[in-house]
Every structure is written in C-alpha cells, then in structure tokens.
Amino acid sequence: MAMEISPGKTTIGWIGTGIMGAPMAGHLLRAGYQLSVHNRTRSKAEPLLQQGATWADSPADCAADADVIFTIVGFPADVEQVHLGDKGIIHSIRKGAIVVDMTTSEPSLAKRLADEYRQKGVSSLDAPVSGGDVGAREARLAIMVGGEQDAFETVLPLFELMGKNIAYMGPAGAGQHTKMCNQILIAGTMIGVCESLIYAAKAGLDQSAVIDIISKGAAGCWSISNLGPRIIKRDFAPGFIVEHFIKDMKIALSEAKAMNLKLPGLELVEKLYERLAQIGSQHDGTHALIRVLEEMAGE
C-alpha cells in the first residue's frame, strides 16, 4: 500500500538549508507539514526553526522519524557523507520511507544510493532542480526525477509545493543525467549572455534596452531576463554559486568521457569558470562570468 502524503500524516526530514534548500523547505512548512531539519551550520536553519521546524543534531537524527527525507547539499562528497557516513541517514531511516536527494550530484552516486537503500526496504529518488534562488523562493522550480516511479508518484504532492515543472525521467540516475543536460545548456547560454552585454556596452547601447528587446525574440531565455539585469547592476550575489557550477560541469565532462563523448563548448566554459574562481569569484553567482570575459576583451 502506497504511503499517503498529507500534512496531518506525513513527517518530513530536511537536510541542507542554503540558498536553495531553505526556501524549498519553507514551502513545506507553510503547507502544514511537520519538519525536522539539519544543516552543517545551524544558523542557516534558524529562520525555519522560527517558523516551527525542529532541529536535529545529525542526518541520522533527522531521518529517524521521517516518512520522507530530503537532502540538498553542496558536493557529491557531502551527499555521500549525509547519506552513508557515520551519522548518515541510512543508519536510522525506517523501512518503507522515501529518501529524496535534490542535490546536483553524480548519476553513479544516485544509483549507488538507490542500491544501498533498497537493501533497507527504502525507496530513493534523485531529484535535482533548476530555477535558481528565484525559482526556489517562488516555488517555480523545474524538478527532474530518477528512481522508482511508484515513489515518484507518492512524493509528487510535495514536489508540487516546490516546483511548477516536474518530470519523471527514468530509473535511478536519470534525474541527475537530465540535470547535466540542463547545466550543459546553461553553460553555453551564460557565455552568450555575457558576451552579448559586453558587445552592447562597447557599441554604446543601453544594455537594459537591449535585454528588453532581444529577450522577446529568438534569443529570449531565463538567463538574459533574470541574470542580465543583475549583470548590468554589477550585482553578483549568488542565485547559484560559481564553485557549485564548476562541480556540475566537471561531473558532466566526466560522464561524457565515460560515454566517449566530446563536448568542446562545455570544456571551454568550464575553463573560463575555473579562471573566474581564481580571481576570487568562487562564491559569486554564475553570472559573474562576465568578469573573466571583460578581462579577456580588454575592458
């Protein structure tokens, strides 16, 4: 019998309360769900605790009473530690529960987690998201999901509180592979957005007016509409940080290599972002790429 998801019956664990995780968890709280939260830095969870969430001292503690537990952390090593480490979820999760990792991570790790949890009678989903800080705050994320379809259908009401475009993509790892497609496209798009605005400035155009007109035609995309104005204001506060994007591109390049696939565009952009991190922008938003391109253009 499938688990029934409802605020009165379902207890949720949430690990990772950063730029994306905090607002996503907040949507579940406001919908009336009982939430136990854990984060490496407790202060980042304080707003959720003030809204009624309860604090857990470790991932294992967070998972102990959870029907569904979500994780959204930084790097694959963090995912492995949170799930399989000494105080990891796997040591306390109850049979019949569902684990959902929303970190952008390695497809191979998603498959490994699915295998490990299956032995415990637990279902596992890999469900990375796209939409940045704005999408997280506005509950308009795209959520791409891999794993057991029955588990996906069970958790769907919770996904619908966080996103507007939700798709089941296939077995374990399929969500992460889909997110790699997303990140490859974003990488190519971002260099286009930045070079377009550099060109506009050099030509003496009003960059805001350029964004307004070209975003309504074939060049229209989320990045030019949402990050273009931030670039003009030199507001590089992160919606998604550079060091995490570099991590994603490295995963995509590694997966491509394993498939004997060459992605020269992605290789180029990854090198540009490595340079961006070297000049001190590793904690800026991904749109800070314009700093490197301006440097190369002699601006």
78 CB-near residues (< 8 Å, 6+ apart)? 103
The helix/strand/coil state of 205 is: coil
SS3 content of the chain, % helix, strand, coil (to 5): 55, 15, 30
Strands 163-170, 141-147: pairing is parallel
Q: Which amino acid type is present at position 25? A: A
Strand partners, 100: 70, 125
> CA end-to-end span of the chain, whole Å?
63
**C-beta of residue 223 within 8 angstroms of C-beta of residue 186:** yes
The total number of residues shown for the chain amounts to 299
d(CA 57, CA 226): 37
**Closest by alpha carbon to 52, among 12, 97, 3?**
12
Asked about 44 being catalytic, the answer comes back as: no
Active-site annotation holder among 179, 247, 250, 257 = 179
Q: How large is the greatest C-alpha to C-alpha distance in the chain, in angstroms?
A: 65
What per-residue string of b and e applies to 231-258 under the rule 16 or more CB within 10 Å gives b? bbeeebebbbbbbbbbbbbbbbbebbee
> Looking at the annotation, which residues are catalytic?
179
